[in-house]
Amino acid sequence: MVDEVSDGFECPFSSSHVQANESAVPQQRTKICMTFPTRGARRVSLSLSCFQDSTHVSRPASLASSVEHLPGRGENDDVFPASIPSPAMGPSAMSRPAATTARVAFLDTLRFIAAGAVLFQHVAEKSGKFGQWAVAMLSPGVFGVVLFFIVSGFVIPMAAGHRFVLKTFVIRRVFRIYPLVLVAFTLMALVGYGSDLAAFSAVKSATLHDWLANLLLVQDYFGVTSILGVTWTLSIEFIWYGIFATALLNLGRRFDDKLVIIAPLVQVVLVGVSLLIGHRLPLARIGMIYAAILGCRAFRAQDGQLMLRRVCIDTGIFIVTMAISNIVSFGYYRHPNISMNEALFPWLVAPVLFMLVACVPNIHHSPLVTNRLTGRLGSISFSTYILHPFAMGLASAFVPSSLFSVTCILLTLVLSMLGYWLVELPGQALGKRIVALTR
């Protein structure tokens, strides 16, 4: 549900690569200039001077940088590091726009849509017959969660950077998620133990064992009281991080070529096992990992490493595989809260929407997708996701039903901004400082 991108770049040309070319082959010096934004109101320009003979471009002989101020960008604005392709990759790679940016505008818009969909479902469920009908027809909450995982799959390889360090990855992931989660549990405890509000009754009934399972994000797997229901997705998010790191370290940077084959096979095998043993398995939850793998494929496609046609094929296989899984999980078997129709719609719409926005330039560069408003709302989407149940609990206790929906949205917005600025950003900064101290 959460993601973060690298706030720096690893230049593919190390100092050991800068060597004088003593060859007698006639040479020509070629100068390649690239300009990209960096932290604060600055633009960094890199000039790569390379020796070139008649057949190839050799290693760079010099690396120079200059800094200029970018108008309209403050010192605390998000950074957009660019991935620098090697000249050995050919001229097409050198001219290709990089997908590796710290805050890609269309991703923030998709995060905003995902968080808004989850919020809409939870508010609509308590807002009368129309809201309940909308949830039954569209299942926006499931759609939002699936979209979140596809976005996570796109961003995590971007966050890993050019050089993957497992310790750094683990520390930054933990400090990306847990500071806000711990604050949310603290708020729940303060209100739950300090009042008699019905919305927080689960807090008072929770045992020490319940609290421990919730803090470790495994409450659903031990059948204990859920204190903050939305955290069920975070355990799957951590599983995805583990799969990503393990696959990257053992299979290399094209690990997704293998995972995109393994994932549908696993889903189909589990469908068969579910039918064979006569028991409903959590196929949709396992499918969230598959959704993240699909996001990885989209990242590589936008970065020019994968043909768009192949990603379209992968998306089609994903939709068909998850349709079969959901028909078995919610059609052949029954779920107490989700019908088959509610399960099918989000797993079709979420990947199609993501691929259209991510892979069609006219869409992801359009003002509807790339604008300051949705970007800001997307940047606070994790706080929106985690804190909206707390806002709903307060709203249900203190405002009349006619004002419930509006109050939930406004209170969630305020809490999300506070959570982002006061908890998320300091938590990420602390993680970076710890990484620096452990180097």
Q: What is the pLDDT of residues 140-164, one digit of tens each?
A: 999 999 999 999 999 999 877 778 9
Poorest-pLDDT segment among 9-18, 47-56, 320-329: 9-18
Average pLDDT over residues 261-270: 97
Q: What's the rounded Cα separation, in Å, for the pair 74 and 58?
A: 38
| Mean pLDDT (whole number) for 393-416 | 95
How much is the pLDDT for 135?
85
DSSP 432: H
Share of the chain above pLDDT 70, in %: 76
Instruction: Measure the CA–CA gap between 245 and 247, rounded to whole angstroms.
Output: 6
The DSSP result for 236-293, as a single string, is: HHHHHHHHHHHHHHHH-TTTHHHHHHHHHHHHHHHHHHHHHHT----HHHHHHHHHHH
341 contacts: CB under 8 Å, gap ≥ 6: 136, 137, 139
- In what helix (H) or strand (E) does residue 4 lie, and over which residues does it extend? none
- Rounded CA gap, 122 and 138, in Å? 13
Residue 3: its pLDDT value, please?
A: 59
Q: Compute the distance between CA of residue 272 and CA of residue 332 in angstroms, rounded to an integer.
A: 12
pLDDT, tens digit (0-9, with 9 covering 90-100), for 77-102: 332 233 323 333 333 333 333 444 43
| 161 Rama class: left (phi>0) / alpha (psi -120 to 50) / beta | left
Residue from 94, 92, 109, 152 nearest 375 by CA: 109
Res. 22: pLDDT tops 60: no
Q: Find where tokens 């973060």 sit.
A: 4
Place of tokens 């010096």: 29
Q: Give the whole-angstrom CA distance, residue 433 versus residue 192.
A: 34
Query: Do the Cβ atoms of 293 and 261 come closer than 8 Å?
Result: no
Q: Indicate the pLDDT class of residue 302, thresholds 50, 70 and 90.
A: confident
Lowest mean pLDDT among 32-41, 235-244, 365-374: 32-41
**pLDDT higher for 99 or 435?**
435
Beta strands in 54-194 (DSSP E): 57-68
Say what the pTM is: 0.78
Q: Distance between CA atoms of 387 and 149, rounded to whole angstroms?
A: 19
Instruction: Give yes or no for residue 13 having a pLDDT over 80.
Output: no
Q: Is 133 helix (H, G, I), strand (E, B) or coil?
A: helix
Helix and strand element counts for the chain (H, E) = 17, 3
Q: pLDDT per residue over 29-41, tens digit each?
A: 444 454 444 444 4
CA dihedral 22, 23, 28, 29 (to 10 degrees): -30
What are the residues whose beta carbons fall under 8 Å from the beta carbon of 35, sequence distance 6 or more? 43, 44, 45, 46
Helices (H), 8-139: 91-95, 105-124, 129-138
Virtual CA dihedral for 398, 404, 406, 411, nearest 10 degrees?
A: 40
Q: 153 with 240: CB under 8 angstroms? A: yes
Q: Which amino acid is at 380?
A: I
Rounded Cα distance between 392 and 412, Å, is: 8
**Of residues 21 and 152, which shows the higher confidence score?**
152
